[in-house]
């Protein structure tokens, strides 16, 4: 599959710098990258501090200077990933886009970013659920108002459509299922469905279908190919 260039604003969590730069990244950032990669490989439950420090090329002492424990490190990683994805989403559309287009563009950018760094998808859809539901709640609270804000430019939307909280959970389940099948690089194949879920609660079914068609066109290796 052709890799789509992701947004320039994507920082190191989504486009990790390669070993030559390793010394320049902050220790904290290296630790966060390390826990993301370790969770992707063996999940949060099986990740140990030893795994993290080995991947980050740091000492245990350095780890404990930055974080109290594995859970604190995980929370920081989740927070960081959410911030990064929000930046990616925000950079992908402009105020002049009609709401449906804006949501589709933001969704496409987020899914591309997740496909490029599947560890982040595993962290946010698989481990976050296993570790603590409040983690999920935190980024649901960050996402739904952002969508609402986009639609607020169009009065009268968000009436009688599908439930945005549920749509968020659905997207999470679909993304995790793709991770669980061991083919995270095929996440973009889910674009029509994820775009539908993102648009439907505020724009309604018809608009969601229209946007999902556009998303399908944008993803040449969509469902059914491969």
Partner 1 sequence: MTEGPEDLRRWRLPRGRHGLPRELVERSQRERLHAAVVRVTVENGYEATTVADILGEAGVGRESFYELFDDKLDCMLAAQKILVDDLEGRVRDAYLDEGPWPERMRKALGVTLDWFAADPEAARFTLIELSAVGPAFRSVFKDQFARFIELLEEGLDDDTPYPELAAATSLAVGATMARLYEEVMLDRTTELPRLLPDLTYDLLVPFVGEEAARAEQRRASASS
Mind giving me the DSSP string for 14-68?
TSPPPGGGTTTS-HHHHHHHHHHHHHHHHHHHH--HHHHHHHHT--HHHHHHH-S
Q: Which stretch binds partner 1 (CB under 8 A): 51-59, 81-89, 104-112, 154-162?
A: 154-162
Q: Which stretch binds partner 1 (CB under 8 A): 14-22, 27-35, 91-99, 130-138?
A: 130-138
DSSP string, 137-193: HHHHHHHHHHHHHHHTTSTT-SSS---HHHHHHHHHHHHHHHHHTT-GGGGGGGHHH
Residues 27-56 contacting partner 1, CB under 8 A: 42-43, 45-46
Closest approach of partner 1 to the CB of residue 138, in Å: 14
- Residue 181 interacts with partner 1 (CB under 8 A)? yes
Does 72 help bind partner 1 (rule: CB under 8 A)? no
- Pick between residue 84 and residue 211 the one whose CB is nearest to partner 1: 211
Nearer to partner 1, 30 or 117 (CB): 117
Q: Which helix (H) or strand (E) holds 173?
A: helix 164-180
User: Please, what is the minimum distance in Å from the beta carbon of residue 69 to partner 1?
Assistant: 14
* Residue 186 near partner 1 by CB under 8 A: no
CA distance 112 to 204: 24
Phi and psi torsions of 19, nearest 5°: -40, -40
User: Residue 36: which of 121, 110, 108 has the closest Cα?
Assistant: 121
Q: How far is the CB of 196 from partner 1 (least distance, A)?
A: 6
- Specify the residue, 10 or 147, whose C-beta has the smaller distance to partner 1: 147
Beta carbon nearer to partner 1, 101 or 193: 193
CB of residue 10 vs partner 1: minimum separation in angstroms?
26
The answer to whether residue 190 forms part of the interface with partner 1 (CB under 8 A) is yes
Q: Are 103 and 199 in contact (CB under 8 A)?
A: yes
Alpha-carbon distance values, 74 to 31, 52, 71, 112 (Å): 10, 11, 5, 23
Residues that bind partner 1 (CB under 8 A): 42-43, 45-46, 126, 129-131, 133, 160-163, 165-166, 168-174, 176-177, 179-182, 190, 192-193, 196-197, 200, 204-206, 209, 212-213, 223-224
């Amino acid at each position: 599959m052709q890799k789509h260039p992701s947004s320039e604003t994507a920082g190191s969590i989504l486009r990790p710098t390669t070993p030559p730069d390793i010394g320049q990244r902050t220790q904290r950032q290296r630790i966060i990258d390390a826990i993301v990669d370790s969770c992707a490989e063996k999940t949060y439950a099986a990740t140990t501090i030893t795994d993290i420090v080995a991947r980050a090329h740091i000492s245990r002492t350095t780890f404990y200077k930055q974080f109290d424990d594995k859970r604190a490190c995980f929370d920081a990683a989740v927070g960081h990933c959410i911030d990064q994805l929000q930046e990616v989403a925000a950079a992908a559309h402009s105020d002049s886009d009609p709401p449906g287009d804006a949501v589709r563009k933001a969704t496409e950018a987020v899914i591309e970013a997740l496909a490029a760094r599947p560890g982040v998808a595993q962290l946010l859809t698989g481990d976050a659920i296993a570790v603590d539901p409040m983690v999920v709640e935190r980024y649901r609270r960050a996402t739904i108002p952002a969508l609402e804000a986009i639609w607020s430019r169009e009065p009268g939307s968000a009436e009688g459509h599908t439930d945005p909280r549920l749509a968020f959970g659905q997207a999470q389940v679909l993304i995790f299922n793709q991770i669980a099948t061991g083919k995270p690089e095929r996440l973009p194949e889910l674009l029509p469905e994820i775009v539908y879920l993102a648009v439907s609660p505020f724009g309604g079914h018809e608009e969601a279908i229209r946007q999902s068609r556009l998303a399908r066109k944008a993803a040449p290796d969509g469902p059914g190919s491969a």
